[in-house]
Structure 1
Amino acid sequence: WQYRAFVADPLGYADRGRWWQGLQREDSPGEQFRPIGNCPADNVSWYDAVAYCRWASARLGFEVRLPSEAEWQQAATGGQRGNTHPWGSDWREGCANTWEGRLSRTTAAGLYPAGASGQGVLDLAGNVWEWCLNAYDDPHRTQVGTDARRVVRGGSWNYFRDRARCATRNDYDPGGRGSGLGLRLVCVSPILKR
């Protein structure tokens, strides 16, 4: 619902200047395939996601942004090299929404609690690919004003489980949208910034 609030706000997605500096903007946002409050936003480009983060940061009074790929990896594995999946080393049915489940759609956030990472982070495997801040070919490059292909992690409902491994990385054009492409946010602690 948070992303839909950005789309619905006349000072959100529609504000061509404020949130879109250095970004490409389509005339209209991608249509959400499951516009249900507890389902992940999908059909969101990297540009849409960055603009949304800027809008949300202004509304909240502290920074929220896409995770870097390293931050995503840390959340998924907890730094445990043996974790092939967020929940451990071996695949377990019922831990993620991937093609094998045959649901053919996204599911509500948190519907797979057995798939939580060691830190309790949910839905890091399956459901939707999640945009990362950095460029695919240069993980240290996070600058906005480029059209470099961006990293997505986690797999999605329309990919097989081998794409939902913690080590799997994929790339998309930053303007790309799709029913299996969404986002995850990182909250930058306002306490640490002071």
Structure 2
Amino acid sequence: MAKCPVCQTEYIEGEIENCPVCHWQLQPYPFLVSLLPDWIEQEKVKLEWARKQWMATKLQKEQMHQLQLQIKQARQKESHLQFQLEQSLQERSRLQSKLSQVDRERSQLQVELERVPSLLLESIPTSRSEFSFSVLTLDDRGKQIDRHTSFAQSWSEQLGDGIELEIVSIASGTFWMGSPPNEEGREANEGPQHQVTVKSFWLGKYPVTQAQWQAVAALPKVERSLNPDPAHFKGEDLPVEQVTWYEAVEFCARLSRKTGREYRLPSEAEWEYACRAIASTKFDLSQAAFKYTEDREIFKAQATKPFHFGDTIVSDVANYDGNYTYRSGIRGTYRQQTTPVGSFGVANAFGLYDLHGNVWEWCADPWYSNYKGAPTDGSVWDFGGDNSQRLLRGGAWYCIPKLCRAAQRHWDRADNGGSGIGFRIACSFV
């Protein structure tokens, strides 16, 4: 195989006259002509010129090819950018549409927000009333040192057939939750003592009775069935007992659905605050309905006592195992069963009855072995605890006195309910 002297393209001698690539003439020169020196020199010059021209042409072709590639890539990039631009325009259009929707929703919410005050006024019960009650103070031997009448606001939820459920207004305040280290009967789970600020709320005047339970148990089911008559000790005015935590929650859910108000179990902090009745620090009496100015110092002093009665408890004012005493108190009666709610005729400074003894009362919180990390706003402590075990407060008819203290904490399985376990309801707003 021969090669073109210009572009080095291979060819078969005698078959073609010109190079198919650079078109250089490939026919051999006549023998005689090739013997002429001048002609040979001219041919060399001509061949060198042809090679340079070919290299220049080849370089131009390569540059043209690279340029064509760049143009192709630029067009592809332009196409991609055009696609992205179209997507961006579509996204902008979608976001503008969504923004318009948000503006419409905001306008609608603004209209609804402007209606809130009137709606709240419509939802406030018009049948609130002020009621009177007796407040009792005992010394450390159980002797009565003060008894007077006080006043508070209440609201009655009508359950039908003449059955009503009374709830009492609890003013906001700040108190020391837990027991001080020197309190008799104190347990480690009652500390560390810490300051808690509680918002105003409403709480049942009494533990839920069997009549109230039966009325609500007859309402449509929300999540679980309810035994209409679970109590061991029978009586319409006796507190309902043998109620699990889950059943107490179901009671609140049914009552909420019926009334349109959100009833619930109190948080542990709300329960203790309500039991103690008045904050021991940041003492705010402006929100309470006091009729007598001398009430202030009495209530303030009671706020850090083991019982809302004072330093001790006697069976004349509470239902517990009276065979046992607290501090210098005296022995009394052991009734061995529940008693009708409110039957002792004395309340604490908020107007709440039966907070010490009669039946344990479920709280919303899961069990924690102490107060380390507990919230300080009175809310339910519902993270990190044992949800299968729920808080009980207040003691029961079979408890010794120290188990009925305001700071005493107890627990049971959420699916368990004994003859000493009941509850009272709470509501943030009525």
TM-score band, normalised by shorter chain: 0.7 to 0.9
More strand per residue: 1 or 2? 2
Alignment match, 1:90: 312
Equivalences for 1:143-162 in 2 at 5 Å?
A: 147-162=387-402
Inter-CA distance 29–177: structure 2 relative to 1 (3 Å threshold): farther
More deviation, 124-133/70-79:
70-79
Contact 1:30 1:43 in 2 (8 A): no
Equivalences for 1:105-184 in 2 at 5 Å?
A: 105-114=337-346, 116-137=347-368, 140-142=380-382, 147-184=387-424
Contact 2:263 2:425 in 1 (8 A): yes
Alignment match, 2:212: 2
More helix per residue: 1 or 2? 2
- CA deviation string 1:70-99 (max 9, x = no partner): 110011102344221122222234121001
- For normalisation by structure 2, the TM-score amounts to 0.38
Higher relative CO (CA 8 A, sep ≥ 6), structure 1 or 2? Answer: 1
Alignment match, 1:186: 426
How many matched pairs? 176
Could you tell me which amino acid in structure 1 is paired with residue 230 of structure 2?
A: E
- For normalisation by structure 1, the TM-score amounts to 0.82
Match of 1:103 among 323, 332, 335: 335
Q: Between Structure 1 and Structure 2, whose CA radius of gyration is higher?
A: 2
Could you tell me which amino acid in structure 2 is paired with residue 96 of structure 1?
A: A
CA RMSD of aligned residues (A): 2.2
Q: Quick one: distance in 2 between partners of 1:7 and 1:62?
A: 17
Could you tell me which amino acid in structure 1 is paired with residue 339 of structure 2?
A: T
Equivalences for 1:31-110 in 2 at 5 Å?
A: 31-78=230-277, 79-80=279-280, 81-100=303-322, 101-110=333-342
Q: Quick one: distance in 1 between partners of 2:239 and 2:223?
A: 21
Inter-CA distance 172–30: structure 2 relative to 1 (3 Å threshold): farther
Secondary structure of 2:392's aligned partner? strand
Structure 1 regions of 5+ residues with no counterpart?
Answer: none
Contact 1:30 1:44 in 2 (8 A): no
- 1:19 and 2:223 correspond: yes
Secondary structure of 1:132's aligned partner? strand
Contact 1:19 1:52 in 2 (8 A): no
